[in-house]
Chain A
Amino acid sequence: MKLIKSKISRIIYQTFLWIYSLISLYPLVWMVFYSLKNNDEIFVTNPFGFPTNFRIENYINAWSRYNVPRYFINSLFVAFVTVLGTIILSVMFAYAAARLKWRLKDVARIYITLGMFIPVQVIMIPLAILVRDLHLNNTYLSLIIPYIAFNLSFSTIVFYGFFRTIPYELEESGYIDGASIYYTFFYIILPTIKPALATMIIFVFLSSWNEFTMALILISKESLKTLPLGLLFFQGEFTTDWGAMGAAMTIASFPTILIYLLFSEQVENALTVGSSVKG
């Protein structure tokens, strides 16, 4: 009896996991369908089903409206540098806040968290003025530096959380071996938070890749525009070409899915290493 009961509950449990997985996958499929429909199908005749006639023209349309490869390369470059900058700065700061001994470290940590509290729209104008005064106008840095600054907050508190769970013996071993604190940090401490690093690389990449508001306001030069700005070419004051927009979004999404797949493998691999160090 008990066995049957546990079997049933196991089936329910597994079904739930798989259903949730399907629900999570569905928007991807839906987006691809969407990108092959016209407005009428999207909103009225066929919002959920398989596209009745494949409107490849949406893709042709999306591709011809703006310089997709150029925008793509810009997005990639900006995202790459943003990830690099954010991870380096935040992991160093989080380490100092979590492991080293200094006064005010809690204040400094909460101070950095402030970036999560402020809606970016409200500081847009001061930020734009700042970007101008720093002479960053019309350079990649006009996006990259604000992106790094805004991503610092969250990645810092995540790294902080992970650093807090490592035993102090690790530093001690470095100390005893006579290694410098920098050496200990890079070669002993950092490897233990590899899962967190890989996870945050994905997060920061995504936030940079999909960011719209700052890109809209801070970039005016055509040759520097990033992919999300491509949407501007489809949204009119009164009408929107949703199908072509869907195509543009599909084009923009696939690299992120690839990156995600790549790094989530890293998370998995890193995990085994991580726990063995500690175990």
Chain B
Amino acid sequence: MKKLIKKTLIMTMALILIFSMVACSSSKNDDADKKDEITVTEGKKNEEAKKKPIKLRIYAQYADDDTKVPYDYALDALKKEMPHVELELDVQAQDDGQKIKTYAATGNLPDIFQANLDIINTFKTSNNIMVLDEYVEKLGFKEKMHPSAMNTLYTDDGHCYAFPYAGNELVLLYYNKEIFEQNGVEVPKTYDEFLQAVKVFNSKGIIPLALFAKEKWPCVALFDIFATRLEPQGILKLDRGEGKASEESYTVAAQRIVELVKAGLLPKGATNMNYDQAAALFHQGKAAMFINGQWEIEASTEALGDKVDWMYYPAYDQSTYESTKYAFSGGGGPSGYAVSPRSEYKDVAAEVAAFISLKYAECKYTMRGNPIIATKVDAPIVKPYPPMMQKLAQDIPKITSTTAFAWGLGNAKFKAAIEDNAQKLLTGFYSAEDFVKDMNKLLE
């Protein structure tokens, strides 16, 4: 392993040199490459210092610890690795891509930008995002990927448009063990038991499930949890246009959500609750269960210690529990750092993008307690994993299928509609039949 790293390091160095030479409009030949490889390892500092400084614009999230810590970590590493490259950060807004799309429309794209599937899909048709296949090869990025996360590297058309760092993240159903024990409720294995549990909690004045349903994706996740009990592909199948909302899996999921909501599944005003409000209910022991991605493990453990755990989703019925328990909701997709095809320093930008993505994954893995990343990491873990994460890590190899988070859906029209309609299902004024009808109409 160490050898591999050393090798890639040397190769990376060599590549930087080649690229910067190209960028500086000097001629490039194979002999020079080999020579450089040696000088790099010997007099790295000298060589680096001589390089012409390059300034790259980067458009990235930089607001909370989940985005700031990895960025700063990657930036530090970059300064050591490529001291001649300077990054000018343009902080990304939560604006549904308005700004980056305007950048593209005005031909003013930053050299490097974070791209999700939506951006990739819109940009690739208008040549606003660079195909990175060549660099995946050159930089050996493919070899660094977790084989199970390969879906985050290539899009459906077989090309790579962004260097990924997030892996196939998962939707977890968290629960408060203490509340379950105190009320004599077993961890539900089937839908019927789950419904029963909801009723018991409700009768005792405990909120069964906290959901930050003001954001629409948790509503979709709830729907997907039930849909995946019969159709492991869940919402992903509809997103790809391979199924209809009238199939049993989706109709049943919608009916069950309506039934659960009627039975008092959610706190009052759930559709207007943000993360802080819903999480507080769970963390303070007022709600028995909570839905969020696996990244919640850390916060929940901090608040509830060993009282918290996650459960397998309640199965369609007793007989399918075992066979479907490793069919998870959630998942990843192509996303990560992309490069503008109009960048003045395409090669350097691509390389920096790849480097930053690797460092993001490394940081998430070693410092943010998150093993679900796209690329392999060889560095030691700084922060030990909480028990829930250890349990999850053991299950990861057994996972039979994943779907997607709402934001990872590729069909923007379907995405917007399922978000609205899944949230509507939680309000009690929308029937499962209407849901199926509306979704089917859209999928036509």
- Listed in ascending order, the chain A residues whose CB lies under 8 Å from chain B are 39-40, 42-44, 121, 124-125, 128-129, 131-132, 137, 213, 216-217, 220, 222, 232-242
Contact = CB atoms under 8 A, between A and B. Distances in A.
Interface in B360-405: none
Contacts of A232: 63, 91-93
A69 B200 CA distance: 56
Interface string B277-300: 100110010000000000000000
A44 B280 contact: yes
Contacts of A137: 108
B99 interface: yes
A241 B64 CA distance: 8
Contact of A236 (B63, B101, B102, B105): B63
Size category, B interface: 20 to 34
Contacts of A233: 62-63, 91
Contacts of A40: 276, 280
A42 B67 CA distance: 23
Given A44-B276, A129-B106, A216 B99 contact: yes
Contacts of B101: 125
Interface string B75-89: 000000000000010
Nearest to A131: B106
A233 B89 CA distance: 12
Given A43-B276, A232-B63, A238-B66, 20 more contacts: A43-B277, A44-B280, A44-B284, A124-B98, A128-B106, A137-B108, A216-B93, A216-B98, A216-B99, A232-B93, A235-B63, A236-B61, A237-B61, A237-B64, A237-B94, A238-B275, A239-B64, A240-B63, A240-B64, A242-B276
Contacts of B63: 232-237, 240-241
B320 interface: no
B102 A125 contact: yes
Contacts of A217: 98-99, 102
B95 interface: yes
Nearest to A127: B102
B90 A132 contact: no
A220 B57 CA distance: 10
Contacts, number: 79
A239 B63 CA distance: 9
Contacts of B88: 222
Interface in B258-280: 274-277, 280
Contacts of B281: 44
Of all A-B residue pairs in the complex, the 5 with the closest CB atoms, nearest first, are A236-B64, A236-B63, A44-B280, A39-B276, A43-B276
A144 to B, nearest CB: 18
Given A43-B274, A236-B66, A129 B280 contact: no
A121 B98 CA distance: 9
Nearest to B281: A44
Given A44-B280, A239-B66, A220 B95 contact: no
A124 B108 CA distance: 14
A240 B275 CA distance: 9
A131 B107 CA distance: 12
Contacts of B94: 235-237
28 contacts: A40-B276, A40-B280, A43-B274, A43-B276, A44-B276, A44-B284, A121-B98, A125-B101, A125-B105, A128-B106, A129-B106, A131-B106, A132-B108, A216-B95, A220-B90, A220-B103, A222-B88, A222-B90, A233-B91, A235-B94, A236-B66, A236-B67, A237-B67, A237-B94, A239-B66, A239-B276, A240-B64, A241-B64
